[in-house]
Amino acid sequence: MLTKIVAFAVTLGVLVVFHELGHYLVARLAGVKVLRFSVGFGGIVWSRSFGRDRTEWALSWIPLGGYVKMADEREAPVAAGDLSRAFNRQPLWKRMAIVAAGPIANLLLAVVLFTATYAAGIPGEKAVLSDPPAASAEAAADVRGGDRVVAVDGEPVGSFQELRWRIVRAQGHDDVTLSIVRDETTAPITRELSLAAMTTSDWDADPLAMLGLRVDLGPPLVDQVLPDTPAARAGLQSGDRIIAIDGNDMHSPSDVASYTHAHPGATLAYTIARGTTTRDVPVTVDAVDQNGRRVGQAGVRLRADPQAALRNAVVVRYGLGEALVQGARKTWELSAFTVRMLGRIATGDASLRNISGPITMADIAGQSAQAGPLVFLSYLALISISLGVLNLLPVPLLDGGHLLYYLAELIKGSPVSDRALEVGQRIGMAMLFMLMALALFNDVSRLF
């Protein structure tokens, strides 16, 4: 729990500081007087004043954000000598640049973080696939066990994790083109993988498993049997190797999870190897709600066979220049994907359960921190992108809402009226309140 709290605090602190630094630095470059730079909202806990303008640097009670307070006649009287440096008296382009600088700073931070991870080297698994289930989209596309995916729709793939991202990014498309190497001595061949049968719940669960795309890590090992669960009642033990379920060979921990999830409440025949003996163990799995979907759970934590994982391990690493290119590209792709997903949620094509709140963020932050610094940096970059994109949405109270007002001012030739600003603020507050309520509801639903 402490790890999650600390990781979440670091995540929030870094993202807020970079966001507000964007506003602060561009405001200073534009000649605007900055009165206060605060991390957090509400009453001030600690503050110090520095610089020619005696800008107050503060920590406030409510740590869910921050703000940069500038000299502005609309908020408080401005001394005669500072009128030329008031925010409200700046040309339109300067005001727009100052407001846009916060979200842009978050996107630039993501580029830097992704560049660092690509330069350091991202560990993963080779995109070598196991035998596909008979009725899967992979089997229909004539993709076979041992095939290595090298590209999706012409985009290079260096690991199974990159394959997953390319497939997830194609959500909403009818199909994707896989470039695969079947024989290392011959040129890659292409196969059309259909996505047409994928449902919203399939994308919310494990889309690659639903399509039949599985990495071959060999039969997984039981790492832990949770007490008072179907696996514990069936007698499974730590160290057991799960060879098959209902006669279907298991090639990775995700194979076991996918098959078990697909059979809620059913009695499954787990074929396990324990020492030198092999036996069939009937396991009647629980049926539980997960993200609005009924799934089966056995109550085991699994790990890949260490030797098979070592054979299949790969590190994706680039030189600094190429890492920067890849970091910028990944940031752009994730930003565009975030916008598309928000559109799909708004139109009902994607589940509202994709919206997460601080509880889920804290949980994932803790897991990322425990998985290692590179995983945590990637998570930090992902959340920074989400913060940047969300703040650019044309919603009053957000940076994008202010930019919308300035766009209206540019078109009509005069500022938006105070009445319009007041109505916009009320609408923005209502929208943000509903969004936060939905996010917290989803968080609590995941817990219980």
With bands split at pLDDT 50, 70 and 90, how would you rate the model's confidence at 199? confident
What number does CATH give the domain 221-300?
A: 2.30.42.10
Nearest alpha-carbon partner for 149 in 158, 141, 140: 158
Which of 81-95, 324-338, 432-446 is predicted least confidently?
432-446
For the question of whether the overall pTM of this predicted structure is more than 0.85, the answer is no
- Write out pLDDT tens, residues 259-279: 898 899 999 999 999 988 999
Q: How far is it, in rounded angstroms, from Cα 319 to Cα 17?
A: 29
Mean of the pLDDT values across residues 271-296? 88
Distance of CA 196 to the CA centre of its chain: 24
Query: Does residue 57 register a pLDDT over 90?
Result: yes
pLDDT score at 123? 87
| Phi, psi of 314, deg, nearest 5 | -150, 150
Structure tokens at 45: 């806990």
Q: How far is it, in rounded angstroms, from Cα 50 to Cα 28?
A: 14
What number does CATH give the domain 137-211?
A: 2.30.42.10
Residues labelled catalytic: 20
Which of 139-148, 227-236, 317-326 is predicted least confidently?
139-148
Which of 87-91, 300-304, 350-354 is predicted least confidently?
350-354
Query: Does residue 205 register a pLDDT over 80?
Result: no
Q: How far is it, in rounded angstroms, from Cα 431 to Cα 44?
A: 27
pLDDT score at 173? 87
Q: In the chain, how long is the greatest CA-to-CA distance?
A: 88
With bands split at pLDDT 50, 70 and 90, how would you rate the model's confidence at 422? confident
- Write out pLDDT tens, residues 314-355: 888 999 999 999 999 999 999 998 998 888 888 877 777 777
- Of the chain, the percentage scoring pLDDT greater than 70 comes to 98
CATH 2.30.42.10 occupies which residues in the chain?
A: 137-211, 221-300
Q: How far is it, in rounded angstroms, from Cα 65 to Cα 183?
A: 53
